[in-house]
Structure 1
Amino acid sequence: MAAPSSGSLERLRVANRRAVTSLLSGGPMSRADLARGTGLSRTTVSSLIAELIAGGLVSETTDRGRPHKGGSGRPPVLVTLSAPSGGVVGVDVGHRHVRVAVADRTGQVLAEDCAAVDVDTHGADTLDRTAVMVRAALHAAGVERDEVHAAAMCVPAPLDRRSARVSTGIMPGWRDLSPGEELQRRIGIPVFVDNDANLGALAEVERGAARGASDVLYVKVASGVGAGIVLGGRLHRGASGIAGELGHVQVGEDGPVCRCGNRGCLETMVSAPRLLDVLQPAYDEPLDVQRVLELDADGDAGVRRVLSDAGRTIGRALADLCNALNPELVLLGGSLGTSSALAVGIRASVDRYAQPDTAAAVRVAPGRLGDRAEIIGAVSLAIARVASG
């Protein structure tokens, strides 16, 4: 067997540095916790931390952590990202909104703004609007553009890592656009791009309800349905970057035509707009997602039936994914992620259709970061890219 080339070894080391700094963007951690969270050996983690400390990117804190699993040994030394000058920009592009945040390099948000935008059909206009929002947020945060080290943006569609372009079937107004290159040209800052569910997963693992978990499925249920997959503490993007497109699993050969071009995709049955269309005829008041969640919390029978049925449909697709990946946690995000009825339906289908041992190992829970998960994930990605060089 041929020895790995120096180039492949360097790429592996950069990826390992990125995995370590991504976890540290969520706060101080011990070397042992970093090893558990990344799946790397303790020797590798210690070597990477020494390298990062020498480069001024990481420092040891005066605080001490707790021994693993409440043990009585000596508390471990914690390491943390250093707090150099300057900042980063995070951008969350949804189907119907753009959210922008400016943060320092520890992840503390300094300024944030959100605007309703017709994203899918107006790609260039959306990026123009985003650039204006970035400049305004930088001004509000008191950060000069030349002090910004990187920006990261998420998009609500499959993103092909080879071409750096999104699926134009889902976002028709983005044809021939490379989102990262286009936004970088407008704001003069390096821009890194990923899928929205991926960055939601990253945020929840680093700063939210999945912190400390290594194998997680983050399911975003909003105007579409997507999944971010974390395996061994790292985001799994797949060969071309489009892993986790749960919303485009076919659940009915003769179902409605999906915006991706296929028929009977999961999201044609359970997306937020679809569920609102199903519910509205039974209610005298205008319904939106927030009102549906309120009715769900109040125990409204009609809303809980529809959301529970939607959860069962999602859970049927998730059960197969759980059988394949054996996660410890299914975390629900997006505008409908806090629905208890949705979670009950998903749990019921996972229990029914997944292998018994697989179902017993997985917990289904709402995310902690709500609709801000994606913007927090974008900030974390920008920080990690700066720290990894």
Structure 2
Amino acid sequence: MTAPSSKRSARADRSGNVQEVLNFLRATGPSSQATISRATGLSRATVNHIVQALRDQGAVQYEWKNKREALVCLASTKESIVTVTVTESAVHAILFDFSVQERTDLLSTHLPEYHDAAPTPSMALDLIHRLASIARQRGAPLVGAAIAIMGPIDRTTGAIAPWAWQRLPHWKQVEIQKYFVKNLRIPVIVDNDANLAALAEWSWGAGRGCSDFLNITCAQGIGGGFVINGAIYHGGTGLAGEIGHMVIEDAGDLCFCGSRGCLTSLATERAILNALPHQTVPKRSLEEVIHSAQHGDAACQRVLSETGLRLGKALATVVRVMGPRVIAIGGVLGHAGDIVMGGLRASSEIINLKAVGAGTEFRVAEIADNATELGALAAIFKEIDMGINSLSPWMLRPADPGVAEPSRTVA
């Protein structure tokens, strides 16, 4: 008679093998079973058994190269998934309906009852319920939800870190995952927005195939996300990747985190706008600065290049400590391309790194928009053992929410 502990061990081994196959497909894309076997070290018979089981549950499908050879690729679910992005001014919920291949967006500021309201957990839950109603009407119920928070999540409490909750005061001390699991009763993932943006870039963008990858998201704030061996690296407290709060100028401006001279106070939209000399027609956004720089505005070019220099100073320290193979610059600042990247690569700190030997490669992020939302999709896919190997155009195009009615079940 087989001991219970032996059965548990066998189940754990099978589960681990399945995850190894799924992780390989996420990292490399469509592959033959022979390639999967060589890369994972699993026998061909084991790989064949796993692939057949995953195919039966709709997690993978065959992509035929010819009549005799097929590649295994991740398959999209036939149900629906919701992602929610919470910023200090709005809640943005998206329904990804794979049954009809349609994306439906719902933004709190577009709803009369929430137009001027600060984001709250109940508001986010209401938007999810509205989109869930649409999904049910189509016969494609929600199978998972992912919540992206504009702030660091303390992994020991499940709440926003105490030093950062001022930007989302209604979320103070809320155990976010527990709240949504209790009210939705489906798998829920909660993470920092920059971490999820990094997962999107690793899954489908500049970091694909990298075993160690760092993505920097620069816009109104600066965040970083590490993906190591196919998983977001949170560190012991959950605060790994908080690049924006590295102090690079001791006498710099005061940051909301309490320190002076943080990268956040020197290389974000507000800092870039403040660094511009007086202009007859002031720039109102980072997008305007980038547009002007790309059309020959010398002052905007200079400020963006200096921003790249500051990024280089901070990232050189990160490279010495963590040594990621690839670092991508994304968010709105990523649209500046070579103007910022030129300054970054020209910083003395980066030049000194290159003098030591070949190392980290710096790239512009490939997923310019919706990186956080798409990273949230990737995160919940991983949680429910599903996935896709490439983004379809419909996932990038918002649709009218149409019949999204107010929820009557908000807790």
Q: Please, what TM-score do these two structures have when normalized by structure 1?
A: 0.80
Corresponding residue for residue 28 of structure 1: 30
Corresponding residue for residue 133 of structure 1: 127
**What CA deviation, in whole Å up to 9, does each residue of 1:295-329 have, x standing for no partner?**
12112111111111111111111112123333332
1:150 matched to 2:152? The reply is no
Equivalents in 2 of 1:86, 1:112: separation in Å? 17
Identify the range of structure 1 (182-191 vs 285-294) with the bigger mean alpha-carbon deviation: 182-191
Corresponding residue for residue 106 of structure 2: 113
Corresponding residue for residue 78 of structure 1: 71
1:91 matched to 2:84? The reply is yes
Equivalents in 1 of 2:35, 2:286: separation in Å? 38
Corresponding residue for residue 386 of structure 1: 384
* Aligned residue identity for 1:281: H
Corresponding residue for residue 70 of structure 1: none
Identify the range of structure 1 (141-150 vs 11-20) with the bigger mean alpha-carbon deviation: 11-20
Corresponding residue for residue 318 of structure 1: 315
Secondary structure, aligned partner of 1:219 = strand
Corresponding residue for residue 354 of structure 1: 353
**Cα pair 2:99 2:140 within 8 Å, conserved:** no
Identify the range of structure 1 (258-267 vs 97-106) with the bigger mean alpha-carbon deviation: 97-106
Identify the range of structure 1 (98-107 vs 311-320) with the bigger mean alpha-carbon deviation: 98-107
Q: 1:214 aligns with which of 211, 223, 226?
A: 211
Q: How many residues align?
A: 369
Equivalents in 1 of 2:41, 2:161: separation in Å? 40
User: Which residues of structure 1 form unaligned runs of 5+?
Assistant: 66-74
Q: 2:268 aligns with which of 255, 263, 271?
A: 271
Equivalent residues in 2 for 1:148-297 (5 A)?
Answer: 148-172=142-166, 173=169, 174-279=171-276, 281-297=278-294
Q: 1:376 aligns with which of 374, 381, 393?
A: 374
Equivalents in 2 of 1:14, 1:372: separation in Å? 32
Q: Percent identity?
A: 27
Secondary structure, aligned partner of 2:96 = strand
* Aligned residue identity for 2:380: A
**What CA deviation, in whole Å up to 9, does each residue of 1:200-255 have, x standing for no partner?**
11111212232233332111112221111123343322222221111111113333
* Aligned residue identity for 2:302: R
Equivalents in 1 of 2:153, 2:16: separation in Å? 19
Structure 1 49/148 Cα, relative in aligned 2: closer, same or farther at 3 Å? farther
1:342 matched to 2:368? The reply is no
Equivalents in 2 of 1:14, 1:41: separation in Å? 14
Q: Please, what TM-score do these two structures have when normalized by structure 2?
A: 0.76
Structure 1 216/380 Cα, relative in aligned 2: closer, same or farther at 3 Å? same
**Cα pair 2:250 2:260 within 8 Å, conserved:** yes
Equivalents in 2 of 1:186, 1:142: separation in Å? 17
**Cα pair 1:198 1:235 within 8 Å, conserved:** yes
Equivalents in 1 of 2:136, 2:274: separation in Å? 44
1:288 Cα offset (Å): 1.2
User: Which residues of structure 2 form unaligned runs of 5+?
Assistant: 1-5, 387-411
